[in-house]
Structure 1
Amino acid sequence: MAQRGLRGTLARIAQEFQQRPEQDATWQLEALDAPFAPFAVPCSEMPRVSVIVPIHGKLAYTVACLRSIARHGATAPFEVIVVDDASPDHSAVTLAQIDGLRLLRNERNLGFIGSCNAGAAAARGEYLLFLNNDTQVTPGWLDRLLDCFAEEPGCGIAGSRLAYPDGRLQEAGGLVYADGSAWNYGRFEQRDDPRFLYRRDADYVSGAALMIEATLFHDVGGFDRRYAPAYCEDMDLAFAARAAGRRVIYQPESLVVHCEGISSGLDPFAGVKQCQIANRATFADKWQAALQRQPAPRTPVETAIHHERWPHILIVDALTPDAARDSGSLRLLNIMQLLRELGWRVSFMADNRAATHDEIVQLGRVGAHALCKPWSPSLVTWLRREGATLDAVMLCRHYVAAPNLDLVRRLAPQATVLFDTVDLHFLREQRAAEHTGNNTLARQAELSRHRELALIQACDITLVVSPVEHALLARELPQARIELLSNVHEVYGRGAGFTARSGLVFVGGFNHPPNEDAVRWLVSEIFPRIHAQRPDIALHLIGEIPEAARLSLVTPGVQIHGRVADLTPWMESCRIALAPLRYGAGVKGKVNMAMSHGLPVVATGIAAEGMQLHDGDEILLADDAEGFATAVLRLHDDETLWQHLSERGLDNVREHFSFEAARAALHRVLPLPANTGDNLR
């Protein structure tokens, strides 16, 4: 074990002494040589988080760190505690001039561990965030760590993505091998590689930027003093948290720039740094039993980081989901979040392998690894390498599933294959053909029908979003396994009441033909009837609308907003949501979304299909322009009816389209494999 540990140490030394480029030009870091002038850091009297910064000299780095905190702040209330560990310079005198800072001074040098424990003892926050003084924070540094405790079941510790000042990645969570040796995952890689941009469980996270529940920290005895003055204490704390049944989460959205080695140097055979080797032996001895479950030292890193054997699912869809683009994206992102909560490791690939940085971050937020250009190979190459790790594959939409099903069966034969219809394309196309009288579209619908039914027969499980579609397929293919997994929405609840609201809202982009037809019918035939009687009522159109189409939609009272990042302002300020769809299939996310905010809906029968909605109870329904306009005007001025529909709409989402309903469906469809351990500890 000593030889293997030495090899790892020498490899680390070689890396640390590599020639490094200059500071990344994209960083906006605080200058180390800037003259000191007094400033203030945020300081709450009732902090939720206590930021603890231990220091021993190196004043310039400490000031730069505190300036970055002052610059970026946080939404959550926090305090900053600097523990001066008998600094040999004039740090205490200078730092005393920073307003809002809680400055503690050790009477004698206690080392890193002693200083952290002293800061924790004085902290008032529910959470402790240990932060090295040779770091600089970036926007979201604190709030995104806090998210993990709200969004990750059993989270006890959360750690940041660490990068060098030159822009290279320093750490994306730590890995511990069976001999007690450790490795910083992603070291010297590109910091925006999607491999390092998704939340995941880690063996440990660096104490350079580590958040932990204060009660958990005290329950496990804080940083273990046997590692004094420093090194391996963060690994030990993580193992203690895991032994207490808590998870350690790597959070890539909290990015912290870490100079590394400023306080203790880089030479492992000199100064405090030499404790690294001795403390590793101490760590291995203390956690001997737990280390038996860690990967062997020669295990490749990409394999070792998944050693806990979460079952692995690959999801392939036409495009990378974007919650601001369409309801199908929101549904898929929420499904991925639930899969991870249920103990699954999730990888995602778009059929075109394209993904924007924002889309990669959205996937990472729900714990999904984006496989995209230029970072990942083609599906066939990836499956050749990773197919044996897959327990399930979900292929979305018939035109994505059809060309890839045989490939999946061949390269991942052990995987359960799910076909997610999203909605039955042939049913939507049939209805569009009937609505328009288009014979070409009718022939296309029949072709789609044969393809979709063939896929359903060839796959292990088929997912549909609507009870109507479930019943249709049960009649067509009684031998196939069809499961209902509908839209998934958070129930936000009603914000503003009836009198504080005004106007109508339609949500839907022209990239979906039923939406384009609905908008044109709404603007040309429905809204003119409303505007003639109530010119004070505005109509808000939200969604991707081409410029040429916008010109044809400009009429009095119509406000075209296009695509927006957040629907909440309209969901909380408009009085009625509209869904005048004349054809389509599946379940309509625009209806779910409005009802999840307590916003009443007027819709056509097609728009309400398969949603367990009843006219006059949860919704108002009308299928002709005159009746639709009449229903809108009636609801707009009837507070009692509005209140009733608002309450009943919220009940409908809770019962049929909530996370709880979807979680139960997924648990039924994808139970954890028998060889899976307690992934959530």
Structure 2
Amino acid sequence: MKKVLIIGHGIPEPRSTGAGVYMAQLIDLFLQGNYELHFCSTAKAPADDLLIVKNIPYSQIQLNSDSFNAFIKALDPQIVVFDRFMTEEQYSWRVREACPDALRILDTEDLHFLRDHRRTSNDPKPPATLSDLAKRELAAIFRSDLSLILSKPELEVLTSIYQVPESVLLHLPFLEKNVPQRTELTAYEDRKDFCFVGTAKHKPNVAAVKQLAKLWPLISKEVPGAKMHVYGSYFTEELKQLHKPSAGFLVHGFVEEVQTKLQQHRVLLAPLQFGAGLKRKLFDAWLSGCAVVTTPIGIEGIGEAHKLPFMVADDLETDFVNLAVTNYTQEYQWDQNRQEGLALISEHFSWEKRAPSVLETLKSYALNKEEFSPQNPVGQMLWHHSLQSSKYLSKWIEAKNKT
């Protein structure tokens, strides 16, 4: 049985977050492929049930220590997955030295530098001038044998703008099992109110909640009696201060079963102004029977904005408010919205359709790793020169700790 080691950025996040869902999916994918799976990170042993329930061995590893080299050499995995580029920077050179034949896979989650650029510039286009963050993340992608890319637009950005060879990229979006029919979900008349879901650890979510607080008086004026429910984790005091029951704007914070809440509400509002990757909240909303109103950034990688005018608003001040009201008050549009959402998931994000081909690709790369290296000369150059400062700083810290 082939071994896979996932080096986590930390303990896997709760499955209510996009990153948590994606990691759980990655674990399920390897298990379906009959791989022997191991997980490690610098964090203490997890209390989270994701690893425990699936009976996945966990090891706590150290930064700047050759104990990791001994650990991975003894494990001898055929595939090593780095959970985001920061982990690749820390451990890829050690993996390469201790297990040179292992396939090194970078799990990008989304392009951090693209999200950060959109946040600071208010420009959705990829940056022409690379920030230090962009240089680090792109270098990790070039160095890796294969990188998992969440959305097709990001894959196109990497290949067309930054000249990353397609041969070292694998499009792996969220994949859904057992997509329900809309007729199986709670009916229009049995639902009420608007909702938003998102962790405050994610800056696009924080900005979206603040935007909703500004838009809510305009929306509630058109839909008297309706309420806005905001769910999520790690809410700051600033976000909690937006809680105004008298105005129908309710900031709940963390809830255990967010899917149950979504099944009670009629429309999810996601006025996302920047971001990257795929927006998990849209998937969760449609799968729970909600309609969705969002922005071009929100729908990116899921559907084409110009084909979905009944759910995608270009203008937050006017279009977004109008779509929120019509999707809430007009049952036909509400049903069309969620029908289209479930169709997009069934067509493009089906586990049954995509998982087998992804597993075949991973198997092929692991068996024929040497065939792809010549197609990535930049990666070869980076391995010749890059990471030397990180490598030798790590060795210096390691030596210092020993003395």
Q: Same fold (TM over 0.5)?
A: yes
Task: Please tell me the residue identity of whatever aligns with 1:670.
Answer: L
Distance 1:561 1:324 in 2: 19
Conserved 8 A contact 2:296-2:305: no
Counterparts in 2 of 1:379-528, with a 5 A limit? 380-387=66-73, 389-435=76-122, 446-475=131-160, 476-479=162-165, 481-491=168-178, 493=180, 494=182, 495-524=185-214, 526-528=215-217
Alignment gaps of 5+ in structure 2:
368-403
What SS is found at the alignment partner of 1:598? coil
Q: Please, which of 337, 357, 372 is the counterpart of residue 28 of structure 2?
A: 337
Contact 1:323 1:329 in 2 (8 A): yes
CA contact (8 A) 2:310 2:323 kept: no
Q: Is the 8 A contact 1:347 1:368 kept in 2?
A: yes
Bigger CA radius of gyration: 1
2:44 aligned partner: 354
Higher strand share: 1
Q: Do 1:501 and 1:573's aligned partners in 2 also have CA atoms closer than 8 Å?
A: yes
2:249 aligned residue:
558
More helix by share: 2
- Note closer, same or farther for the CA distance 1:490–1:444 as it changes in structure 2 (3 Å cut): farther
Write out per-residue CA displacement over residues 344-401 of structure 1, whole angstroms, 9 at most, x where no aligned residue.
Answer: 1111123x323441x1x212333432223xxx66685244134352000111212221
Q: CA 1:422–1:532 in structure 2 vs 1: closer, same or farther (change >3 Å)? A: same
Structure 2 length-normalised TM: 0.81
Q: In structure 1, give the amino acid aligned to 2:57.
A: H
Pairwise CA distance, 1:625: 2.5
What is the identity, as a one-letter code, of the residue corresponding to 1:460?
D
Does structure 1 residue 577 correspond to structure 2 residue 268?
yes
Q: Which amino acid aligns with 2:87?
A: V
User: Tell me, which stretches of 5 or more residues in structure 1 are unaligned?
Assistant: 1-309, 437-441, 675-681
Give the stretch that moved more between structures: 470-479 or 422-431. Answer: 470-479
CA distance in 2, matches of 1:434, 1:449: 14
Distance across 1 between alignment mates of 2:169 and 2:76: 26
2:355 paired with 1:666: no
TM-score, normalised to structure 1, is: 0.49
Q: State how 1:76-225 maps to structure 2 within 5 Å.
A: none
Output one character per residue of 1:623-674: Cα deviation in whole Å (capped at 9) or x when no partner.
3222111101001111112112222211211222232244135314311767
Aligned with residue 370 of structure 1, among 49, 53, 58: 58
Aligned with 1:649: secondary structure? Answer: helix
Alpha carbons 1:491, 1:650 under 8 Å: kept: no
C-alpha change, 1:501 and 1:380, in structure 2 (3 Å) is farther
- Tell me: higher relative CO, structure 1 or 2? Use CA pairs within 8 A at least 6 residues apart: 2
Instruction: Give the direction of change, closer, same or farther, for the CA distance of 1:653–1:354 in structure 2 (3 Å limit).
Output: farther
- Quote the Cα distance in structure 2 between the aligned partners of 1:547 and 1:469: 30
Would the aligned equivalents of 2:259 and 2:284 in 1 still touch at CA under 8 Å? no
1:482 Cα deviation from its structure 2 partner: 1.1
Length, aligned pairs only? 354
Q: Which residue is equivalent to 1:315?
A: 6
Contact 2:16 2:258 in 1 (8 A): no
- Alignment-derived partner of residue 544 in structure 1: 233
Q: CA deviation at 1:616?
A: 6.3
* Cα separation, 2, equivalents of 1:343 and 1:324: 22
State, as a whole percentage, how many aligned pairs show the same letter: 24
Alignment match of 1:534 (pick from 223, 235, 244): 223
1:434–1:355: structure 2 CA closer, same or farther, 3 Å change rule? farther
Structure 2 counterparts to residues 593-632 of structure 1, below 5 A: 593-614=284-305, 617=308, 620-623=311-314, 624-632=316-324
**Residues 240 and 251 of structure 2 are in contact (CA less than 8 Å); yes or no, is this contact kept in structure 1?**
no
- Note if 1:652 corresponds to 2:341: no
Change (3 A) 1:551 1:598: closer
Give the letter aligned to residue 489 of structure 1. Answer: E
